[in-house]
Chain A
Amino acid sequence: DADVTQTPRNRITKTGKRIMLECSQTKGHDRMYWYRQDPGLGLRLIYYSFDVKDINKGEISDGYSVSRQAQAKFSLSLESAIPNQTALYFCAPMGTGCTDTQYFGPGTRLTVL
């Protein structure tokens, strides 16, 4: 979705490095989500936020942290990257209306060596 931006799009880093993935959206949605995608495992929820002061752990939050700097921005950090965090990461804002659904960013492909 063109209204959701993720940076960087690709990143190669080394074990032990700190890395931040950024997401911004122009849809005005309060809710934002971070997922990782691994082949054969589908999408797994890492963290989500219902508004600027709200942060919730998802299914696989260990090794990750997040920051909701503003309604439009939600960043994901790996404090000390490890190889099994190599994956495709997606940010997905979502509205709160009954018919609202999630809109996905283009993804960040992260490789940890």
Chain B
Amino acid sequence: GEDVEQSLFLSVREGDSSVINCTYTDSSSTYLYWYKQEPGAGLQLLTYIFSNMDMKQDQRLTVLLNKKDKHLSLRIADTQTGDSAIYFCAERPGNTPLVFGKGTRLSVIA
């Protein structure tokens, strides 16, 4: 069945890089997404990657996709306190609703 797995917590020091990992199960997923949820707010789309890409970079964000291992990662360079949030990985298996992971809570220590 469809399942998206990610670790629940990550703690990093301000200025370091953060790497949030995710594994998914459906190889037919054409797009994979990263969402950010700040306290008291809804989910905000951060970035997405098409399944025929290995990497996508957007300013401080780098998404890496290993389609063979069904592994997706989000790297945040120079992590700031404002990056503290919950990060959700999601896959889109065909024309069905997105399947979300349970979210990784990123804590940034000043």
Contact A107 B41 (CB under 8 A): yes
User: Which of B8, B41, B42, B45 contacts A101, CB < 8 Å?
Assistant: B45
Most chain A CB within 10 A, of B8, B33, B43, B98, is at: B43
User: Which of A43, A58, A107 contacts B88, CB < 8 Å?
Assistant: A43
In whole Å, how far is B83's beta carbon from the nearest beta carbon of chain A?
A: 19
Q: B68-104 toward A: CB 8 Å interface, digit per residue (1/0)?
A: 0000000000000000000010001000011011110
- Secondary structure class of chain A's binding surface, majority of residues: loop
A106-B88 CB under 8 A given contacts A98-B30, A101-B31, A101-B98: no
Instruction: Let me know if B57 is at the binding interface, CB within 8 A.
Output: no
**In the complex, how many residues of chain B place their beta carbon closer than 8 angstroms to a beta carbon of chain A?**
19
- Secondary structure class of chain B's binding surface, majority of residues: strand
Residue numbers of B with Cβ under 8 A of A are 8, 30-31, 33, 35, 41-45, 48, 88, 92, 97-98, 100-103
Q: A43-B88, A102-B43, A106-B42 are in contact. List 7 more A-B contacts (CB 8 A).
A: A4-B42, A43-B43, A98-B31, A101-B45, A104-B42, A104-B43, A104-B44
Residue numbers of A with Cβ under 8 A of B are 1, 4, 33, 40-43, 45, 48, 58, 90, 92, 94, 98-99, 101-107
